[in-house]
Amino acid sequence: MTGPIPTIAEAARLIANKKLSPVELTRACFARIHALDHRLHAFVHLTEERAMTEARAAEHAIMTGAPQGPLCGIPIGLKDIVDTKGIPTTCGSKILLDNIPDADAACAESLAAAGTVLIGKTTTHEFADGGPSFDLPAPPARNPWNPEHFTAGSSSGTGAAVAAGLILGGIGTDTGGSIRGPAALCGIAGIKPTYGLVSRTGVAPAAYTLDHIGPMAWTAEDCALLLQALAGHDPRDPASANRPVADFTAELGRGVKGLKIGVIHHFHETDYPVSAGTRHGIDAAIVTLRGLGAEIGEVQLPPLQDWGACGSLISITERAAAYEEWARTRLGDFGDRVQRRLMLGALVSGVDYVQAVRRRRELRAELQRAMRGLDVVLTAAQPAEAPKIDAVPVWDTFAAPSFTMPFNVAGYPAISVCAGFGEGGLPVAIQLVGKPFQEPTVLRLADAYEKATDWRSRRPAMLDAVSG
């Protein structure tokens, strides 16, 4: 297989028209993995034999004319906190080094049922927390745009693997930004859906009331295709929303004329001023969206630090509760960063937690009020381009407020898409946030933006040396 790495949408069309073989597509992914992953560490476990079997089955299904969906034969990866039947699921931890689940997580089931080809399990920060860590069973993933730099986390392997074309899409999880952060720093698209839209069954928790499962891919359109397979009610997940699932691709291509966007300028200009490259990316995106016909206004919310305090206290406490038994008996078996996070749980009282949850109700009401009359709000996804991988503070919780946490606190859908490149050629991003269950609008806007810019035509330079 030669030529540029296809998006999921492009590959789906070619496969359906019998112009692209899922077997060749899968082989090309493994060729890139074998050429690059020793530098990226995007995978902790490859499932090559299974993948080739699934690719051949997909090809057979296509060739025999059985009707197939757009994910048939598409190579994907699953973050290694997602349970996979018969396949190691370590959560990036020494504690679960020998863990082989006896059932698939709901999201793994859904993607398999849609005909995807599982390439492997992608690197995660330990139990989706902390990172980058150099004291875990596997090394941290590295950024394909420059392997000396961080991917963000915790869905670090999926972010790196998609950017480098090792897979066409994959699963991330997001408790405070773990889909959107790696999407932003790796220059791809990643959507944290509305809380409850995608089942959490079989995915290791980070913080129960903040955890979201969602897709990461090269484009917003690809995220829509993956989300279609993932969304839906699951009675096994107590937070699962029992409501009809939207058509996530239905609004793509309709343009953005008349959509009302509120920019949360104070988040990225005064609450925590972003880098010059990120600011330029955001400002240029606003110009682009206005030029496409969107109506741009400004919204005011409580300061970023209020959202961060609320989300962090909830996250610290819920994580400490989830992992209390191991923290008490095997603390030293966690990596240094997660040990620190678990230690923090001792400092947060029950009353602090409830005050945080009361604040959460108020903050959600503020966002609801601010979004009346708007379709989407826009701000930064990350404060800057990717830092050097050895320059991430160990107590990053206190180093800078998160631009993504507000929408975990609120549970609103939010996507990060590439908005250009800063100094050193590293990606910058914007974050688009919709109202609950309005993913079609968020994806429509993100898709229109991507198609109005040429950021999707550029891949990491390390791919130039890889044929196929």
Partner 1 sequence: MPSEISDQALDFLLARAGLALSDAQKADLKSVYQGIAAMAARVRQKRGHMAEPALTYGFAEEDLP
Residues near partner 1 (CB under 8 A): 209, 242, 305-306, 308-310, 312-313, 316, 320, 324, 327-328, 331, 339-340, 342-349, 352, 354-362, 364, 395, 397-398
Cβ-Cβ contacts under 8 Å for 465 (sequence gap 6 or more): 35
CA distances to 46, 55, 74, 159 from 87, in Å: 10, 18, 19, 21
Answer for the pair 424, 385: CB distance below 8 angstroms, yes or no.
Answer: yes
Given a contact cutoff of 8 angstroms between Cβ atoms, the answer to whether 331 and 342 are in contact is yes
Contact between residue 376 and residue 299 where contact means Cβ atoms under 8 Å apart = no
Among the options 133, 156, 178, 402, which is catalytic? 178
Q: Measured from the CB atom, is 339 or 453 closer to partner 1? A: 339
Q: Which is nearer to partner 1, 116 or 315 (CB)?
A: 315
Q: Is 89 in contact with 44 (CB distance < 8 Å)? A: no
Helix (H) / strand (E) element for 118: namely strand 117-122
Q: Which helix (H) or strand (E) holds 141?
A: none
Q: Of the two residues 320 and 415, which places its CB atom closer to partner 1 in the complex? A: 320
What DSSP element (H or E) covers 418?
Answer: strand 414-421
Give min distance, CB of 357 to partner 1, in A.
4
b/e map of 72-105 (b: 16 or more CB within 10 Å)? bbbbbbbbbbbbbeebbbbbbbbbbeeeebeebb
Q: What is the arrangement of strands in the sheet containing 117-122, beginning at the earlier edge strand?
A: 43-46, 117-122, 75-79, 169-174, 212-217, 189-192, 414-421, 427-434, 376-380, 260-263, 295-298
Q: Which is nearer to partner 1, 85 or 364 (CB)?
A: 364
Quote the least distance from Cβ 242 to partner 1, whole Å. Answer: 7
- Tell me how long the chain is: 468
CA–CA separation, 258 and 290 (whole Å): 10
Closest approach of partner 1 to the CB of residue 307, in Å:
10
User: In the complex with partner 1, which residue's Cβ is closer, 158 or 312?
Assistant: 312
19 is catalytic: no
Pairing relation of β-strands 295-298 and 414-421?
A: unpaired
CB of 309 to partner 1, least distance (A): 4
Q: Which is nearer to partner 1, 30 or 272 (CB)?
A: 272
206 vs 341: CA distance, rounded Å: 11
Shortest distance, position 384 Cβ to partner 1, whole Å: 21
* CA–CA gap between residue 409 and residue 439 (Å, rounded): 17
Instruction: Name which of 63 and 354 has its Cβ closer to partner 1.
Output: 354
CA distance 217 to 171: 9
Helix (H) or strand (E) holding 7, with range, is none
Of 79, 121, 192, 435, which one is the catalytic site residue? 79
Tell me which DSSP letter residue 190 carries. Answer: E
Taking each helix axis from N to C end, the angle separating 220-230 and 106-113, rounded to the nearest 10 degrees, works out to: 110
Q: Find the shortest distance in angstroms from Cβ 313 to partner 1.
A: 5
| Residue 79 a catalytic site member | yes
Are 403 and 381 in contact by the 8 Å Cβ rule? The answer is yes
CB of 373 to partner 1, least distance (A): 24
- The CA R_g of the chain, rounded to the nearest whole Å, is 20
Supply 217's token pair. 């891919």
Catalytic, out of 93, 154, 312, 402: 154
Other C-beta atoms lying within 10 Å of the C-beta of residue 242: 9
Cα torsion for 353, 356, 361, 362, to the nearest 10°? 160
Nearer to partner 1, 99 or 305 (CB): 305
- Please confirm, yes or no, whether 21 is among the known catalytic residues: no
Residue 353 beta carbon to partner 1: minimum distance, rounded to whole angstroms: 9
466 is written with which tokens? 């890889």
- To the nearest whole angstrom, how small is the minimum distance from the Cβ of residue 180 to partner 1? 21
Which CB atom, from 104 or from 211, has the smaller least distance to partner 1?
Answer: 211
Just list the catalytic residues: 79, 154, 178
